[in-house]
Structure 1
Amino acid sequence: MSGHSKWHNIRLRKGKQDAVRGKLFTKLAKEIIIAAKGGGNPDTNIRLRMAVQTAKQNSVPADTIKRAIQRGTGELDGGNLDERTFEGYGPGGVAIIVESLTDNINRTYPELRSAFAKNGGRIGDSGSVAYLFERKGILVIDPGVTTEEVLMEVAIEAGAEDVQPSEDGGFEVTTAFEDFATVRDALDAAKIATSSADIQQIPTTRAELDVAEQKKVLKLLDALEDNDDVQNVYHNLELSEEALED
């Protein structure tokens, strides 16, 4: 399991589950809004189809999904969002990428800059750390959904790069960015349900720090995630189990 996924699972298991889930609903609705700007029909808009499927998998109400699509297409107000990506450094020089959807960049940038500065990091210029990451498709299959043999046959045939067992007994499928939709559609056609499927920034190298420094980085990551305009936070920190403990 990637460090990004492991960190998110820990956040969900801690005492802020309701707050984290509420923020997740908001993030998923924003992704639908921005995706729907390319057309309100999921059958012809691949990004919208993926956004809607992910929202449904996370139990976002159907009415919320419908309104988000309407905001994106302009049928309802509230669809004025821009995609902005920020790069920066955490304690120990850890590389961090922050993806946001914002209706006011003059609010978002200073807030993120402050979060970096208050937690031992600094925001960087565009391109300062992006070269340390690759965009990959990550599809997660829960335990008991299928066998490794069947999954390997379907996923690799469709163009997946790798299939790995996860710590909980399920599987994680990795694809090249351009093959993500094809692999996801192949899994859907084979009736192999995914618990999550999205594009992530995967680090090509990992930064190794001691536990104390790792915890400082985690504090920064939490501060960035808690910003309402932030959609995703990626990092290249090699996380230890000890650092993830309270």
Structure 2
Amino acid sequence: MIGREIAVAVKSGGSDSNNNGKLREVIAKAKANNMPNDTIDRSIKKAAGAGDGVVYENITYEGYGPNGVAVIVEVLTDNRNRAAANVRNAFTKGGGNMGTSGCVSFLFDEKGLIVIDKEEIETDEDELMMMAVEAGAEDFGVEEDCYEVTTAPDDFEKVREALEANGIPMMNAEVTMIPQTYTVLNSDEDIKKMNKLLDLLDDDDDVRNVYNNWDEM
């Protein structure tokens, strides 16, 4: 899927990452997912010279899982009808239903999120926080095994680049959707259905991202 995202970014903004912010963002995501540099370079070169006529489009679907759990599904597909049918099928089999555009997106905030593994860095926590805040981060969170740097979407790239320039390794770095509130599933049946919904979406090659507000406690 990351290779497909690289192809779309190159086709929309060119193969020079210095002049293509979207491509820089996808490259950062690829590196955070341990994609080798030579694989990234090959994907960019392949996309730059591609002439196969395949056109991918980004589509966002929204809906509800069991007990009204809000779900957003982002797909990158060359077949809109196939994508819609597969996503609808996942919602149905997962005990939910696909809704209309905008039905749940207002329950999420779009944010840049950078996750840093505590064991991978030697930088002091306070120093790292100041580094992130001075670069433009909105928030700096401390979890059990990692740090989470949150940014406005427009500031994500400059914060990521500032941390990268200071040699900070990142477990994950992407613009994502963060729930404002969470929904608890109390019954085993609802939990089983929700897991089935997420598994079906995860197995779909067209699905790029899935966001939900399920509180797994």
**TM-score scaled by structure 1?**
0.81
Partner Cα separation in structure 1 for residue 46 and residue 97 of structure 2: 34
SS, match of residue 55 in structure 2: coil
Partner Cα separation in structure 1 for residue 143 and residue 117 of structure 2: 9
Report the equivalent of 2:90: 115
Cα offset, 1:135, TM superposition: 0.6
Partner Cα separation in structure 2 for residue 223 and residue 116 of structure 1: 9
Greater strand content: 2
Aligned equivalent of 2:154, options 165, 175, 178:
178
Q: How many residues align?
A: 213
**Deviations for 1:114-147, whole angstroms, at most 9, x for unmatched residues?**
1111110111111111111111111011123122
Cα offset, 1:214, TM superposition: 2.9
RMSD: 1.7
Report the equivalent of 1:237: 214
**TM-score scaled by structure 2?**
0.91
Report the equivalent of 1:141: 116
Are 2:4 and 1:30 equivalent residues in the alignment?
A: yes
In the superposition, relative to structure 1, how do residues 30 and 81 fare at CA in structure 2: closer, same or farther (>3 Å)? same
Cα offset, 1:211, TM superposition: 4.8
Higher relative contact order (CA 8 A, sep 6+): 2
Tell whether the 8 Å contact from 2:113 to 2:175 is kept in structure 1 after alignment. Answer: yes
1:186-225 aligned within 5 A: 186-212=162-188, 213-225=190-202
Partner Cα separation in structure 1 for residue 41 and residue 51 of structure 2: 10
Unpaired stretches in structure 2, ≥5 consecutive residues = none
Report sequence identity in percent. Answer: 48
- Amino acid across the alignment from 2:19: T
Report the equivalent of 1:153: 130
Unpaired stretches in structure 1, ≥5 consecutive residues = 1-26, 241-246
Partner Cα separation in structure 2 for residue 52 and residue 84 of structure 1: 21
Cα offset, 1:93, TM superposition: 0.6
